Structure 1
Amino acid sequence: MQDFQTIKKQASDFRKAKNYEQALPLYKQLWEEYREDCNEWEGWSYAFALKHLKDYQKALEVCREVYPLNKEFENIKGVYAWCIYYTEIALKVINDEPKFFKAGKEF
């Protein structure tokens, strides 16, 4: 079994090369098996890869876990906002005004 730093480096290299399909399982492994070692950056990277692979619902779930770790972390706010957009606004016509405005209040 590889160690946290090795997996993190491989995942980061894949993400930086925009190879999200290769990065995703590594970030998932980090998030699930090394959670106590992960910080907002690993969480953001995991959500970022999910978003780029259009798994917006799972990315939103990860964002909801990462955001409380550091509410000032700008990177997660962007991914979080896009995931809300894709899951709550873009794919549906929202005729329910309270639901529409609730989507923006998560921050």
Structure 2
Amino acid sequence: MNKKPIYKKRWFWIAIVVVIGVIGNLGANEKSPTNDVTAQASTQQAQSAKEETSTEQTTTDKEKAEAEKKTIEEQKAKDKAAAEKQLKRKLKQIVFPENIKLH
């Protein structure tokens, strides 16, 4: 029986990927103090910018939502009026058919 070489087996490559991942993550948990200060400062700047942007976006989003809601309500009103008009025509045809000839 011919055995496959180890490098052609799936589990070998999965083990290699896991080992490389573990080795790569060993140094990722260590942070230097200068990186912490810089990271905190940049995080604070990003949060303040995000708050300003979110306030502007919230106002804009509210205006857009109100306009969209108004548009939807107007469309519903138009659709309802058109449906009522069509229903009246059909009812009129049923009650007063035009094709009946009276002698």
Q: Higher RCO, 1 or 2 (CA under 8 Å, sep at least 6)?
A: 1
TM-score exceeds 0.5: no
TM-score (norm 2): 0.19
TM-score (norm 1): 0.18
Query: Of Structure 1 and Structure 2, which has the larger fraction of its residues in helix?
Result: 2
